[in-house]
Structure 1
Amino acid sequence: MTDTQALPAGITVERVRELFNPKSIALVGATDKSVWSLSLFKNLADFPGRVYLVNPRGVVVHGQQSYTSVAELPEVVDLAFVMVPTGAVLEVMEHIADAGIRSAVVLTSGFGEVGEVGAELEARLVRLAEERGITVLGPNGNGYVNVASGITPYGLLISGELKRGSIGVVLQSGALASAVIQLAQTRDAGLSLLVSMGNESMISMTDVMRYLVEDEATKVIMLFVESIRHPEDFLEVSRLALAAGKPIVALKVGRSEGGARVARAHTGSLVGDDAVIDAVFRQNAVIRVDSLEDLIVTAELLSHAAPLPGRRVGFVTPSGGACEVISDRAEDEGILIPDFAPETEARLAEVLPDFASVHNPIDVTGYILIDPMLTIKALDVVQDDPNIDEIVYIGDLPHDDPADFDAAVARYQLQSEAISRSKKPVIVVSNTITDITPVGRAVAAASEFPGVVGGIHHGITALGRAAEWSERYRAAQAGVSGGAAVTAEPPIVVDARPGESFAERKAAALLAEHGVPVVPNALVDSADAAAEAAERFGFPVVVKLAADEIEHKSDIGGVRLGLSDADAVRQAFDDVVAAGRAAGAAAPAALVQPQRSDGVELIVGAVRDPKWGLVLAVGLGGVWVEVLKDSTLHLLPVDREQIKAGLTSLRGAKLLEGARGTQASDLDAVADVVARIADVAVRLGDRLESLEVNPLLVRGSEVEALDALITWR
């Protein structure tokens, strides 16, 4: 995308760039009585451009002469930071527009987040900004910190220095933005840009993400998400980020009912179903984490080492206990710890003490206190091993003042040089996630020691996420689809009334017409016709009520199973038809089908999510769907490889593999049929509300839909 291509609401990447890179700033509403104003002024103390203060009384504020309005400023500033009372915001915005100012951050709250009246005021703010050509961040947001350029129009005081780095941060929370800043400082994680979005009245989270995809200073995009307001744009930007090799790491809150309620109250927006969000993230290579610590640690690791060449990791540690923790966590996160090649172990035995472990993970032992070069020697050997893709080096920076600072720097310099000359990527991970102290930062800076990822637990979690993202990135680079397959077949046109349901007979016929294997069936209107159909199919058979008015036939006694003779079939016909009449069916008939036994029952359903569109759910059918609630979700369209991966991720996947001597399922055949069902759902278009196949019976490579239901919007 070029700088002039339009984003939603007419915002371009160039306008976002102007917002984040002003050369002059006016603080509108500056006053000594406001903590926000004072914090903002202090944050801008080292701003390389000009800062003007605007106060309607024209008094001295924060020791600097103010102007009574933006009209009095000696120049047209690039950015206005607005912190006036809610009722004065629109008038101030008119003045800003009259003065020719093109960008504004609105700190003031009292807009869409407080209810209907505030939402109307926010709508007026947006209309004014759009009509007058102002780019607005907020309202109800703290602003941003452009670490890469040293520009800090941010409303909460930042204590201490922020390290310049390559992590771009977008947060839908003002207060947590400061917590992220503090955590980044304590872990010495380098940021490029941090933005507190506020209500996203004009500039959205996805607008900032799009800017970060193009920003040369940013390698990793980090998100704190309460609500995704523009789903289609989020999907597009996620794909752009993957193509650009920029991982997105997200902490999405609102998983619980209470969390969703709090997020709605905070942002004034709806929060999508969390299981669907999970599917969206997984399909679009967005790395999801569940804590602020993992958010920072994962982004930090990726900023040092992305993409990773593989999952096979060699570990170099000075602790047997650490080796045990590493082994457990690696198994949890899908990290492989392969055996070293025999020649590697032989070379390690030559340089390590006899009581050290030469196996992966390596324990050089506490003898490192006697010979500090042990881990370096081990690292030099392991880098040549053909069985590993990268190395995790367990180490940490000093916390307290060393007795000899220069000697400490020299020691870390040797480690740094060993890491630099390694033929394979080396990721330094500390034992625990603790603060990197000023002493540690000073030693790292003087020795050029690389960034240290915080703690084995969080570090291995981050390593697993990074390996998964790297696989998706390589697949994208190779042109392999990651789940956004679009059918080339034409739409399916169906004569259906709004709100109508197609029960099994019509639904099964539609599926069969478009390539979905469906169990044979016969529609009958008499007991004798039912018996004749049963004789043709061969016993045992199933008799089901055929009445489009009745969606769930089994609930009213409309299904009879295991019928093994003609008399039983006749009686079953009479019973299900009577049940249909009792339930209000106008002209009940029956379906006769051959009874299928054995195999594994799946449920496959496509349901329209109000935000994300059609979502495919695949899970174990029968009693398992209620007991285990075991399913995998995919945003449609999706390709068969993603479907197959979802099948293997089910908790009950061993049933498909042929548990306890049962026949193993052909997962390729299952994925093909599920993909065909998904394709039909997509081709049915916007009128489709839901399509359900339950059960889809799998017996080896034989896959059949036994029942189906389609509902229309």
Structure 2
Amino acid sequence: MSIPVDERLRVFRDPRSVAVVGASADESKWGYWLASGALRGRHRRRVELVNRRFDTLLGSACAPSLSALDAAPELAVLSVPAAQVAGVVTEALEMGVRGFLGVTAGIEKEAELAEAIRAAGARLVGANSLGIYDAAGDLELCWGRFQPGALAIVSQSGQLGSEIATLGARRGLGVSRFVSVGNQSDVTAAELLADLADHDQTKVIALYLESFTGGEQLFDTLSALRETGKPALLLTVGAGAASSRMAQSHTGSLTSRMDVVDAACRRAGVHRAGSPTELVQIAQACLATTSPAGRRVAVVGDSGGQCGVAADRAVAAGLTVPAVKEEVATQLSELLPPGAAVSNPVDLAGAGERELGTYADVLASVLSDPDVDAAVLTGYFGRYHEDVPALAVREREVAENIAAVSASYSKPVFVHTMADSSSTADALWAGGVPVFEDIDATVRTVAGMVALRPMTAPAPAELGAPAGVSLSGYWAARNALADCGVPFPSGMVVRHRLEAVAAAETLRAPYVLKAGWLAHKSEHGGVVLGLADAYELVEAFDRMRAALGDGEYVVEEQDRSEHVVEVLIGGHRDPGLGPVLTLGAGGTEAEALRDTAVELAPITEETARSMIARLRCAPLLDGWRGRPATDIAALAALAAAVSRFLAANPGVSEVELNPVRVGPAGALAVDALIIEETENPND
């Protein structure tokens, strides 16, 4: 996947000249930090300082205005009071300035100013930016100092971006590029991320965002960056906030904004970290080793208690701890004392204390299992040399052997130790083995790196509805969805009593009668079930028509399948991230149960199966208390079909099948709703 980059953004990476407008000698002022940082790069570019109150600043000449300079700077840094910004920008554009870094906040008519900059062929980062830094370009235009390294930070909050950089520096993780995007009045986070594609110093990307306008482009860019070997870690806020859009289906009310963001992360192979510390820990591990191929983890330790805790925390983090193969268990039995746990977790039962090399030998055995993707070593290893200094050399040798074992199997090893700041830990890190003092941090890092592998590519969306055909109302929705493979009961449209009689003669009882134009039929008396014969059907039709008026009513054969579980399949079009599919427990209690799984549409049947497995009601579908299992394959196929329909029809804002009755012999949709972008249906 190619990554389009606006070449005008190069001015924010390595400009030929910079002018700091509002430079200062006062260390408590923004102008000082911007000026002093810019001057550190004057061996590489021309640096101009502008402040009408001074002739010299920080040992350099200072001009009273941009127009007083001998030549136009390529990049102008705006650190003047808000009321002066527009005038400075006008002056700069007349001179031919190509880029602006806007630090000042509270600029009046900021959007109009940004438009004027774009119209002149220039670009603006900010306003309200904390600045930019580029290690390769010797460009420092920000508050504070950064340690050069491999981590790029693109942040909507400059302060939080600085925290990430500070936490990274404490762990020896430096910054390749830092950009505080500020208000994104012009240049967006997605554009700045795309500009990292050929930034050789960047190996891992940290991204903090509070909004996801243009999110489809942003996640496409992150996916493309991952393909180039630059994984991304996302930090955001609002995990508990409901979707801001006024959804008219059950699906919309069941889906939070963070559900959708997480789905976008899974699709793109991005990990959403829970805190700056977690982000930095995973970033450091990404630079040390490769991501596990899957979630299957072997837990090895020298304490039964620590092994048990590690296994429990691994499962809580979304990993699995499968039993090792019989031949591997046999190998372990030969390495360890009688009675040692050898299935997984593996407890060394004192063997490590007798011979430190056992740690590496056991890890070699478990990593040889094709059903193991990574190993977690937990416990005392790493501290032997502290308590017994004579073991220092041997422990370091074993650490190097552990790293060699990991490399030989191309499977990462992660170490939780009681001494994470030691020469042994240094040897592990140097060999590509991440080390942590906390077991939760260890397994979170494993899970986070697993998340950097994207989900299966989606199926193509080719099921667009005919142009100009309305999809409003149950019967129209039914027909459109049936065309893409969704099964419905036999049914007929009825508008008056004689058609109801004809329906009774054509269809098989018992019958269901529905007011086809209502979105939520049961809440308005718009559905009657279990009509046993023609007399009951006609009588129910007369009552419903008298209460609701003329309209398109639908009569269907009532599904009589046994051992059925009711499921909801729906989707909506997120304004920033595109089509989203929701699958969950259905029926009239769907909103009370709130048991759902969410992915971006379209999805494959494989992905649909993974969504089903995540539901709390999944045991009911698998067969509960002696009941037969339902046809999960049919449900997965139906969910994938609905996702393709939604993705292929941009004019559809919401679609919902609720309930879908899933039984041992298949899945059947017994109600459907499609809301088009221009609709405002009557609930």
TM-score, length-scaled by structure 1: 0.80
Give yes or no for the alignment of 1:162 onto 2:162.
no
Q: Tell me the CA shift for residue 592 of structure 1.
A: 4.7
Question: What does residue 609 of structure 2 align with?
Answer: 644
User: Structure 1: how far apart are the matches of 2:425 and 2:14?
Assistant: 30
Q: Relative to structure 1, is the Cα distance of residues 655 and 506 closer, same or farther in structure 2, using a 3 angstrom cutoff?
A: same
* Alpha-carbon contact 1:76-1:99 (below 8 Å) kept: yes
Please say which of residues 366-375 and 554-563 is displaced more in the overlay.
366-375
User: Structure 1: how far apart are the matches of 2:624 and 2:589?
Assistant: 15
1:161-560 map, 5 Å: 162=147, 164-165=149-150, 167-257=151-241, 273-340=257-324, 360-364=344-348, 375-376=359-360, 378-379=362-363, 384=368, 387-394=371-378, 412=396, 415-416=399-400, 418-420=402-404, 422=406, 423-424=408-409, 425-431=411-417, 451-453=434-436, 455-470=438-453, 472=455, 481=457, 483=458, 485-489=459-463, 491-496=465-470, 502-524=472-494, 530=500, 533-534=503-504, 536-545=506-515, 548=517, 550-560=518-528
Q: Tell me the CA shift for residue 428 of structure 1.
A: 3.8
Q: Relative to structure 1, is the Cα distance of residues 419 and 225 closer, same or farther in structure 2, using a 3 angstrom cutoff?
A: same
Letter aligned with residue 525 of structure 2? G
Question: What does residue 19 of structure 1 align with?
Answer: 12
Q: 2:585 aligns with which of 608, 612, 620?
A: 620
Q: Tell me the CA shift for residue 328 of structure 1.
A: 0.5
Deviations 1:128-167 (A, max 9, x none): 3224433321110111232455533222x23xx62512x3
Give yes or no for the alignment of 1:700 onto 2:664.
yes
Give yes or no for the alignment of 1:145 onto 2:123.
no
Question: What does residue 547 of structure 2 align with?
Answer: 579
Paired residue secondary structure (1:572): helix
Q: Tell me the CA shift for residue 207 of structure 1.
A: 0.9
Deviations 1:291-329 (A, max 9, x none): 222222223222323342333333444444432221012
User: Structure 2: how far apart are the matches of 1:368 and 1:508?
Assistant: 66
User: Structure 1: how far apart are the matches of 2:389 and 2:93?
Assistant: 56
Letter aligned with residue 636 of structure 1? A
Letter aligned with residue 126 of structure 1? A
Question: What does residue 531 of structure 2 align with?
Answer: 563
Letter aligned with residue 491 of structure 2? N
Q: Tell me the CA shift for residue 466 of structure 1.
A: 1.9
Q: Tell me the CA shift for residue 574 of structure 1.
A: 2.4
Please say which of residues 690-699 and 316-325 is displaced more in the overlay.
316-325
* Alpha-carbon contact 1:197-1:205 (below 8 Å) kept: yes
User: Structure 2: how far apart are the matches of 1:393 and 1:149?
Assistant: 40
Paired residue secondary structure (1:469): coil
Q: Relative to structure 1, is the Cα distance of residues 345 and 183 closer, same or farther in structure 2, using a 3 angstrom cutoff?
A: same
Q: 2:33 aligns with which of 20, 35, 39?
A: 39
Q: Tell me the CA shift for residue 364 of structure 1.
A: 4.7
* Alpha-carbon contact 1:314-1:382 (below 8 Å) kept: yes
Q: Tell me the CA shift for residue 394 of structure 1.
A: 4.6
* Alpha-carbon contact 2:495-2:551 (below 8 Å) kept: no
User: Structure 2: how far apart are the matches of 1:17 and 1:408?
Assistant: 50
Please say which of residues 182-191 and 138-147 is displaced more in the overlay.
182-191
User: Structure 1: how far apart are the matches of 2:531 and 2:429?
Assistant: 83
User: Structure 2: how far apart are the matches of 1:16 and 1:370?
Assistant: 60
**Structure 1: any 5+ residue segments left out of the alignment?**
112-117, 262-271, 476-480
Give yes or no for the alignment of 1:675 onto 2:624.
no
Question: What does residue 266 of structure 1 align with?
Answer: none
Q: Tell me the CA shift for residue 396 of structure 1.
A: 9.9
User: Structure 2: how far apart are the matches of 1:180 and 1:385?
Assistant: 37
Q: Tell me the CA shift for residue 110 of structure 1.
A: 0.8
* Alpha-carbon contact 2:307-2:378 (below 8 Å) kept: no
Letter aligned with residue 121 of structure 2? G
* Alpha-carbon contact 1:393-1:426 (below 8 Å) kept: no
Q: Tell me the CA shift for residue 330 of structure 1.
A: 1.7
User: Structure 2: how far apart are the matches of 1:443 and 1:616?
Assistant: 46
Q: Relative to structure 1, is the Cα distance of residues 312 and 407 closer, same or farther in structure 2, using a 3 angstrom cutoff?
A: same
Letter aligned with residue 149 of structure 2? R
* Alpha-carbon contact 2:297-2:322 (below 8 Å) kept: yes
Q: Relative to structure 1, is the Cα distance of residues 70 and 403 closer, same or farther in structure 2, using a 3 angstrom cutoff?
A: farther
User: Structure 1: how far apart are the matches of 2:117 and 2:559?
Assistant: 66
User: Structure 2: how far apart are the matches of 1:614 and 1:380?
Assistant: 45
Please say which of residues 508-517 and 688-697 is displaced more in the overlay.
508-517
TM-score, length-scaled by structure 2: 0.84
* Alpha-carbon contact 1:53-1:61 (below 8 Å) kept: yes
Paired residue secondary structure (1:544): strand
Letter aligned with residue 186 of structure 1? R
Q: Relative to structure 1, is the Cα distance of residues 673 and 25 closer, same or farther in structure 2, using a 3 angstrom cutoff?
A: same
Percent identity, aligned pairs only? Answer: 29
Question: What does residue 709 of structure 1 align with?
Answer: 673
User: Structure 2: how far apart are the matches of 1:150 and 1:318?
Assistant: 48
Q: Relative to structure 1, is the Cα distance of residues 254 and 364 closer, same or farther in structure 2, using a 3 angstrom cutoff?
A: same
Question: What does residue 90 of structure 1 align with?
Answer: 86
Letter aligned with residue 698 of structure 1? V
Q: Tell me the CA shift for residue 507 of structure 1.
A: 3.0
Q: Tell me the CA shift for residue 184 of structure 1.
A: 0.9
* Alpha-carbon contact 1:558-1:579 (below 8 Å) kept: no
Letter aligned with residue 660 of structure 1? R
Letter aligned with residue 102 of structure 1? R
Question: What does residue 44 of structure 2 align with?
Answer: 49
